[in-house]
Structure 1
């Protein structure tokens, strides 16, 4: 089943797949509130985060798995894939493939995303690039 479409989410996916952080101007409000520890509030902070993310994963591609629209809320489930060939959030390139999943919730007002919550599997991504050990430690690895 194909997820429904939403113009702001479509722009988000386009931004990720074309590596064009300037597209945030078209879907993120100036006073955007981001409820996570990685991206500060505001449109410019969002643009800077994605610029840095694309530096670490220059071949990043994203697939939308699910999209739910209810009132002023939009919820998406995404899979991000790429090769870690540049500095990523302060972690030097490892050359390793990365797969990260997210669940994002946005609040829409006046045709823009104004608020955002997300759940990311960053621990798994950091394990994939060797920045964190696998769960269970080396004795559980085959």
Structure 2
């Protein structure tokens, strides 16, 4: 189970590999952390990585600090790292290093991502970048 989550983090989030994403996502995947019911599908998750994070964070790396496995659920504590090189949620590139801390719970079914829950510090990172860019909060 942990290997599947490590692969997702390396190949999908870090490397942006669409084929790996397709291989690792269950057809009925649900992202329970999405803001609305309409955004809970796999494609919306892919778009977040491909059009929000990856273009904004140069040299994007995922550093896994810890993983725990309980049956079909894997809990991962990780950091997404890189340099702010493109627009991130309305904040133009600052050139600053960014570190988004994340805790994910992934339910794996038949070797694929079936459900996801998570918390992260993206809002705090955006607030810091806004200040670094000289923009009012």
The verdict on a shared fold, with TM-score over 0.5 as the criterion, is yes
State the match for 2:47 in structure 1. Answer: 48
State the structure with more CA Rg: 1
Q: Does the Cα contact within 8 Å between 2:31 and 2:42 map onto a contact in 1?
A: no
- Give the secondary-structure state (helix, strand or coil) at the position aligned to 1:95: coil
> After TM superposition, what 4+ stretches of structure 1 lie above 3 angstroms from structure 2?
none
State the match for 2:6 in structure 1. Answer: 10
Q: Does the Cα contact within 8 Å between 1:98 and 1:128 map onto a contact in 2?
A: no
Hey, which of these two has a bigger chunk of helix by percent? 2
| TM-score when normalising by structure 2 | 0.81
How many residues are aligned here? Answer: 128
CA shift, 1:22, in A, is: 4.0
Change in 2 beyond 3 A, CA 1:90/1:24: farther
| TM-score when normalising by structure 1 | 0.79
- Give the secondary-structure state (helix, strand or coil) at the position aligned to 1:23: helix
Change in 2 beyond 3 A, CA 1:21/1:98: farther
- Summarize the alignment of residues 15-30 of structure 1 with structure 2, pairs less than 5 Å apart: 15-30=12-27
Unmatched 5+ residue regions in structure 2?
Answer: 133-137
Q: Does 1 or 2 have the higher relative contact order (CA < 8 Å, sep 6+)?
A: 2
Hey, which of these two has a bigger chunk of strand by percent? 2
Q: Does the Cα contact within 8 Å between 2:76 and 2:105 map onto a contact in 1?
A: yes
Partners of 1:58 and 1:28 lie apart in 2 by: 25
Unmatched 5+ residue regions in structure 1?
Answer: 133-142
Partners of 2:34 and 2:90 lie apart in 1 by: 15
- Give the secondary-structure state (helix, strand or coil) at the position aligned to 1:37: coil
Q: CA RMSD in A?
A: 2.1
